[in-house]
Amino acid sequence: MKKCFFAVSLVAWILCLPLEAQNGNKGSRLNSFTPGTIWKDNNGVHINAHGGGILYQEETYYWFGEHKTEGRGGNVAQVGVHCYSSTDLYNWTDRGIALSVSDDPASDIEKGCILERPKVIYNKKTGKYVMWFHLEPKGKGYGGALVGIAQADEVTGPYTFIRSTRATPKSWPVNVLDLHKRPLPEKYMGERANLEPTEHPDSVNTLGRDFVKGQHSRDMTLFVDDDGKAYHLCSSESNSVIHIAELTDDYLDFTGKWVRAFVGRRMEAPAIFKKDGLYYFMGSGCTGWRPNEARSAVAPSIWGPWTELGNPCVDADKETTYHSQSTYFLPVVGKEDAFIYMGDRWTPENAIDGRYIWLPVEFKDGKFILHWYDEWDLSVFDKKE
């Protein structure tokens, strides 16, 4: 009888343990962040969730990102979107592949496509988890400039691919100009991946060019506001303008209400957070996998007007964003005004080796700033000035 009681208690105790403890964290348990180092999951394997974003659901954080593989070939999607979960943000449990690429050559997400910067949001109205990502059909470089949309009933998936599309087809932004609606000279009808440094997007009317087909959507993120409205932010118009577009109530489409921001500023890697009613934006310049100096901005409304605040990085190596590129701002639940900058330190020659640069967001003189820390923990958010 005693033995039976012991066995029942043991099973009950195991069931109550957080998942990462049940799986047996093969590395030692972490209690700090060490940006740029190998970050092991519960199996002792470097976390594989690049260009990622995080969703908080029922006291657990879920990290979704690009699953990379070894070598240069590992930059394209050989596997899909990887998911990890954590209750403390330091220790992550491998939850497997949330969205798998397809072996079907007819699929938009055929193995070998480019699938980048996946972001997952939860729709309270439909009870579904919705994933958007940057998608480039296999073998076509970055000319597609599409978003892919997928959906799941469970947070960890499996996600079902729904469709791919350009952004906001056949709708004009709220700040459209007359010049965008004029017919285009023939020589400007061809799409180009990037504009010449001397070309302003309005001088070649990238917006009018893509009106029917839909606007480019390359680097992207999603943002859900306090009222439940969701927005898609992307690098558009040959990477020269950021587009910010409202999503439908089910988060599966664009409403057609959208705005152009930072026209001609050529930014990628959009990331956004909200504090005290203000919207803060961060992006990078356009140098591919090579890091560059970040930009930041603030606005009283997601529709703008956006005021640029300069490079948020303040310590040595600030010109390269500490060798990283923004992907997401993570609000830390239960701590006031606590946001974590999530960036990628890409290693394109061996994609799987890419590192994560997580740093606490600090505020100074109406701006947000990022200091470098070799090691830090969440207690930084408890210290008030």
Q: Which residues of this protein are in contact with ligand GAL, per CB under 6 A? A: 51, 116-117, 219, 268-269, 288-289, 325
C-beta of 91 vs 324, nearer to ligand GAL: 324
Instruction: Give min distance, CB of 289 to ligand GAL, in A.
Output: 5
Closest CA to 344 of 68, 26, 87: 68
- C-alpha–C-alpha distance, residues 304 and 230, integer Å: 16
C-beta of 180 vs 345, nearer to ligand GAL: 345
Instruction: Give min distance, CB of 88 to ligand GAL, in A.
Output: 28
Cβ neighbour number for residue 134 with a 10 Å cutoff: 25
Strand-pairing partners, residue 83, are 64
Instruction: Give min distance, CB of 26 to ligand GAL, in A.
Output: 30
C-beta of 293 vs 377, nearer to ligand GAL: 293
C-beta of 24 vs 197, nearer to ligand GAL: 197
Instruction: Give min distance, CB of 50 to ligand GAL, in A.
Output: 9
Instruction: Give min distance, CB of 33 to ligand GAL, in A.
Output: 22
Instruction: Give min distance, CB of 3 to ligand GAL, in A.
Output: 57
Residue nearest to ligand GAL (CB): 288
Residues 6+ apart with CB under 8 A from 55: 61, 62, 64, 120, 121, 122, 129, 155
H or E segment at 128?
strand 128-136
- Return the HEC string of 73-94: HHHCCCCEEEEEEECCCCCCEE
H or E segment at 358?
strand 355-364
Instruction: Give min distance, CB of 287 to ligand GAL, in A.
Output: 7
User: Tokens standing for 8?
Assistant: 């029942």
- C-alpha–C-alpha distance, residues 175 and 187, integer Å: 25
Closest CA to 247 of 274, 262, 260, 228: 228
C-beta of 63 vs 381, nearer to ligand GAL: 63
Instruction: Give min distance, CB of 352 to ligand GAL, in A.
Output: 15
Instruction: Give min distance, CB of 148 to ligand GAL, in A.
Output: 14
C-beta of 118 vs 208, nearer to ligand GAL: 118
H or E segment at 208?
helix 206-209
C-beta of 51 vs 312, nearer to ligand GAL: 51
Residue with tokens 């439909």: 126
Determine the 3-state secondary structure of 177 from DSSP. coil
- 96 in Cβ contact with 48 (< 8 Å): no
Angstrom CA distances, 301 to 173, 361, 369, stand at: 16, 20, 20
C-beta of 237 vs 268, nearer to ligand GAL: 268
C-beta of 93 vs 327, nearer to ligand GAL: 327
Residue with tokens 């296999």: 138
Backbone angles phi, psi at 352, to 5 degrees: -65, -20
Backbone angles phi, psi at 65, to 5 degrees: -160, 175
C-beta of 116 vs 246, nearer to ligand GAL: 116
Instruction: Give min distance, CB of 223 to ligand GAL, in A.
Output: 17
Residue 305: asked if its preceding bond is cis (omega within 30°), the reply is: yes
- C-alpha–C-alpha distance, residues 309 and 295, integer Å: 7
Determine the 3-state secondary structure of 283 from DSSP. strand
